[in-house]
């Protein structure tokens, strides 16, 4: 069963029982979640304070959102009215980027009941024409749930280097600009953990704010190197949005329960004087021409970055968008009227082709640095593409 459910499934669940509905609205930098909750929430929901209830107090030694203690988390869960046999439905208003933290924590703490997440969150509820409640909800009767800790794997800061050195794939769920160090960081040193791969959590969502289809997510993570027989770990800035990548792995059909979370994440890593930091974007995957054609047939945008002379020499590529690689600012700035309409969002799959890897690689890397999360370039370039027709 998918951890996600639709509004229709939630309505059916509410008509047949009383799921415990938890609202985990939180955004880095605000606005304050309690105010947003009072302004409008799903009737019957209980507000969950991420900073106070889903984390211990932050510090430079432990990171901004250390895991809560078992005793504190159990006390919080009981205050939400949670009982051991309850079905829990979690939501937020930001693509489940915060709600995924609670989904993971409950399972890490050994909660026996079912935990689901409302795909599309509060926006999906409103788009379905469902009513909102305002103000504070009556405090629920205290629950009796018993929770512990450590039921899902974690990796600690001193274990991270060995994890990577032994071939583990470490996914970084932060935006690509923070991974590369090109965007101002709230942490002491910009960049990422050496050996990590950029896997922005926002790339798990489609243009409608819902999760991408399982096959799309499985291909995305597969392109990054995720497989069923490889050790994979996840981190982010403070351990919150990393859970979103874990959720996406589960939706994609991978065994997310074996994937460790690094709770201290980059906020802890970058605060230590003895940890190395890398900068620059992830190397874009290099795919063969047959794989490139498959992706384009499934909807990827093909960008032809050859010079006019190169196109004349090798021949045109049907359906490709001709891109001036020296004018990427105008063509891929979403605030520019000159940009290509086919590239609808940062989640749009993109395949870059040139006369050689030396031409397509820098363009693909540039796009990744701009925040595009699904970019590859073609091994052998246009000659390899045309060779398939011979």
Catalytic residue among 82, 98, 232, 236: 236
- Residue 236 annotated among the catalytic residues of the structure: yes
Q: What angle separates helix 99-108 from helix 242-251, to the nearest 10 degrees?
A: 80
Lookup: tokens for 200: 């922005």
Which residue has 């047939």 as its token pair?
A: 297
CA 148 to chain centre: 27
**By CB neighbour count within 10 A (0-12 exposed, 13-18 middle, 19+ buried), where does 386 fall?**
middle
Helix-strand-coil split of the chain, %, nearest 5: 35, 15, 50
The DSSP bridge partners found for residue 248 are none
96: left (phi over 0), alpha (psi -120 to 50) or beta: left
Query: For residues 311 and 304, is the Cβ–Cβ distance under 8 A?
Result: yes
Sheet holding 20-23, edge to edge: 4-5, 115-118, 88-91, 20-23, 46-47
Chain position carrying tokens 């939501």: 91
Q: What is the rounded CA–CA span in Å between residue 20 and residue 89?
A: 6
C-beta of residue 382 within 8 angstroms of C-beta of residue 354: yes
d(CA 310, CA 142): 71
Active site residues: 236
């Amino acid at each position: 069963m998918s951890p996600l459910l639709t509004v229709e499934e939630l309505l059916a669940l509410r008509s047949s029982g009383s799921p415990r509905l938890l609202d985990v609205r939180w955004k880095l930098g605000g606005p304050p979640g309690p105010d947003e909750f009072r302004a409008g929430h799903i009737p019957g929901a209980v507000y969950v304070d991420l900073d106070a209830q889903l984390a211990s107090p932050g510090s430079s030694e432990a990171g901004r959102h250390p895991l809560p203690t078992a005793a504190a988390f159990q006390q919080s869960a009981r205050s939400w009215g949670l009982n051991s046999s309850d079905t829990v439905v979690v939501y937020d208003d930001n693509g489940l980027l915060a709600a995924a933290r609670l989904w993971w924590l409950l399972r890490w703490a050994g909660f026996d009941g079912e935990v689901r997440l409302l795909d599309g969150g509060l926006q999906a509820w409103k788009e379905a024409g469902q009513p909102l409640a305002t103000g504070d909800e009556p405090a629920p009767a205290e629950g009796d749930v018993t929770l512990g800790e450590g039921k899902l794997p974690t990796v600690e800061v001193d274990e991270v280097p060995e994890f990577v050195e032994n071939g583990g794939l470490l996914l970084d769920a932060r935006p690509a600009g923070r991974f590369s160090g090109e965007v101002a960081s709230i942490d002491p040193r910009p960049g990422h953990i050496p050996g990590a791969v950029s896997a922005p959590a926002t790339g798990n969502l489609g243009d409608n704010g819902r999760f991408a289809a399982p096959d799309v997510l499985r291909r995305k993570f597969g392109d990054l190197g995720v497989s069923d027989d490889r050790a994979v770990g996840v981190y982010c800035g403070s351990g919150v949005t990393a859970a979103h990548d874990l959720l996406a792995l589960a939706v994609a059909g991978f065994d997310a329960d074996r994937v460790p979370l690094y709770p201290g994440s980059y906020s802890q890593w970058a605060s230590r004087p003895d940890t190395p930091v890398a900068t620059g974007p992830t190397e874009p995957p290099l795919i063969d021409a047959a794989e490139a054609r498959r992706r384009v047939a499934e909807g990827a945008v093909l960008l032809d970055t050859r010079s006019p002379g190169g196109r004349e020499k090798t021949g045109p590529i049907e359906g490709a968008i001709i891109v001036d690689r020296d004018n990427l600012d105008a063509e891929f700035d979403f605030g520019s009227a000159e940009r290509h309409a086919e590239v609808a969002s940062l989640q749009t799959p993109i395949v870059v082709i040139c006369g050689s890897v030396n031409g397509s690689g820098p363009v693909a890397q540039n796009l990744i640095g701009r925040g595009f999360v699904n970019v590859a370039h073609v091994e052998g370039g246009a000659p390899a593409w045309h060779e398939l027709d011979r």
